[in-house]
């Protein structure tokens, strides 16, 4: 039982506090009504509607069931708007399209089965959000781009893992791969998936070769997302979702490359079409080379250089003699602008003064 208040003797409990709150709210409401200015005749009525809690949560991007729409609304959408979009790296789509074609051939040879690889989507995501969204169980292959000195991640979901194991170990065609949940992956399963990841990384290295020579080396295989952390959670990354179908079996491959990994080739990935790097315009190169060889330039033969005071130069008149520290057998320097080109001896050819080039001026 609550003790009486020493000053008033009234009980001090939750009921008294609630009454005070209601009284304060009523007072504020009366004050707002009294201070409200009268509306002008014919003017539209002003709205005094106050947002409720659900509308405030929707504005801030919280609550609302946690759906995809809520995740991209409100403050969350403003925060994510600073993330770089992969569309600003248009050459990435060309690279991943080429990867799909190469993987289709490589996995067909690897599994001796009819394999179809398709690119579902390419998107930007924060690395921490991706790790939290990985459906477990899954295998995560960490690889290193040796020339770029950074890491990437290749995730193989459980459906593709069991499908690859079933195909490589002689499972019947036309039957779905058996999935056994609640147990860790066996050594055989890990080794077979590691072989497939190594094959995919080899194809990925080949697809990037026209842009930049890079070797994606397999580093380790993890089953816990915490041990597959290769970047900070807030760092932006490129996520490519690939679908692998083998008749009625298959699964997903997810390739994630942090922007820090792609930074060494960012300028190359900004290209809009393959001709900018993958191929050169030989016709234009030939035309430019021909025009350059036909360009006319001025070459100066310098007998001597010396320093004089400006006052002496201003006193020069017609007939003034300037003595040069040059003898008939001295070397003459030939320049194109300020660039030294050759050295030679001065002489005569017919009625003209000539310079016989002796060596290149270095």
Q: Is the pLDDT of residue 266 over 80?
A: yes
Least confident of 48-62, 124-138, 216-230, 303-317: 48-62
pLDDT band of 73, cuts 50, 70, 90: low
pLDDT of residue 62: 62
Question: How confident is the model over 142-170, as a mean pLDDT?
Answer: 88
Q: Per-residue confidence at 2, pLDDT binned at 50, 70, 90?
A: very low
Tokens coding 210: 């026209």
In this prediction, residues 232-242 reach a mean pLDDT of 88
Confidence of residue 68 (pLDDT cuts 50, 70, 90): very low
SS3 143: strand
* pLDDT given at position 8: 45
What are the structure tokens assigned to 328, written together?
């008939």
Q: What is the mean pLDDT of residues 330-359?
A: 86
pLDDT on residue 347: 85
What's the chain's Rg over C-alpha atoms? 39
Q: Is the pLDDT of residue 173 over 80?
A: no
- Per-residue burial over 136-164, b if 16 or more Cβ lie within 10 Å, else e, is ebbbbbbbbbeebebbbbbbbbbbbbbbb
Which pLDDT value is given to residue 242?
Answer: 92
Kindly give the residue spans of alpha helices, DSSP state H, lying in 53-90.
53-60, 68-71, 74-80
Confidence of residue 256 (pLDDT cuts 50, 70, 90): very high
Q: Does the pLDDT value for residue 187 go beyond 50?
A: yes
Q: What is the mean pLDDT of residues 23-42?
A: 61
Angle at CA 181, nearest 5°, toward 180 and 186?
70
pLDDT given for residue 15 in this prediction? 46
Q: What would the two tokens of residue 19 be?
A: 């009454």
Where is pLDDT greater, at 361 or 109? Answer: 109
Nearest to 152 by CA among 213, 100, 80, 200: 200
Q: Residue 343: which of 328, 355, 329 has the closest Cα?
A: 355
pLDDT, greater one: 343 or 53: 343
What is the reported pLDDT for 353? 85
Give the pLDDT confidence of 33-57 residue by residue, as tens digits. Answer: 655 555 555 555 555 667 777 777 7
pLDDT of residue 301: 87
**Mean pLDDT within 116-126:** 88
Instruction: Tell me the average pLDDT of the chain.
Output: 78
User: Between 327 and 2, where is the model more confident?
Assistant: 327
- pLDDT of residue 193 exceeding 50: yes
Q: Percent of the chain, pLDDT > 70? A: 74
Contact 124, 83 (CB under 8 A): yes
Q: Pick 173 or 325 by higher pLDDT.
A: 325
pTM assigned to the model: 0.55
Alpha-carbon distance of 92 to 100, in angstroms, equals 12
């Amino acid at each position: 039982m609550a003790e009486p208040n020493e000053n008033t003797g009234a009980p001090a409990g939750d009921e008294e506090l609630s009454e005070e709150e209601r009284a304060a709210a009523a007072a504020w409401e009366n004050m707002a009504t009294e201070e409200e200015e009268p509306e002008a005749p014919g003017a539209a009525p002003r709205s005094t509607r106050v947002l409720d809690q659900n509308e405030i949560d929707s504005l801030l991007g919280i609550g609302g069931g946690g759906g995809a729409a809520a995740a991209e609304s409100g403050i969350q959408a403003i925060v994510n708007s600073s993330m770089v979009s992969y569309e600003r790296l248009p050459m990435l789509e060309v690279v991943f399209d080429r990867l799909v074609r190469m993987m289709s051939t490589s996995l067909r040879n690897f599994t001796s089965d009819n394999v179809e690889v398709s690119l579902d989507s390419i998107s930007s995501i924060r690395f921490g959000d991706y790790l939290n969204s990985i459906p477990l169980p899954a295998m995560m292959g960490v690889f290193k781009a040796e020339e770029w000195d950074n890491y990437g991640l290749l995730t193989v979901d459980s459906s593709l893992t069991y499908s690859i194991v079933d195909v490589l170990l002689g499972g019947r065609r036309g039957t779905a791969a058996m999935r056994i949940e609640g147990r860790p992956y066996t050594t055989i399963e890990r080794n077979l998936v590691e072989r497939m990841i190594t094959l995919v990384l080899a194809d990925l290295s080949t697809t990037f070769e026209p842009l930049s020579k890079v070797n994606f080396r397999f580093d380790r295989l993890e089953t816990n997302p915490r041990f597959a952390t290769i970047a900070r959670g807030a760092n932006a990354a490129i996520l490519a979702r690939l679908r692998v179908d083998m008749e009625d079996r298959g699964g997903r491959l997810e390739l994630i490359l942090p922007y820090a990994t792609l930074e060494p080739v960012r300028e190359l990935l900004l290209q809009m079409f393959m001709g900018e790097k993958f191929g050169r315009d030989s016709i234009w190169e030939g035309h430019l080379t021909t025009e350059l060889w036909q360009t006319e330039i001025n070459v100066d033969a310098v007998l001597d250089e010396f320093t004089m005071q400006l006052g002496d130069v201003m006193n020069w008149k017609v007939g003034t003699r300037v003595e040069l520290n040059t003898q008939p057998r001295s070397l003459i320097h030939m320049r194109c602008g300020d660039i030294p080109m050759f050295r030679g001896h001065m002489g005569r050819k017919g009625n003209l003064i000539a310079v016989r080039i002796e060596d290149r001026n270095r």
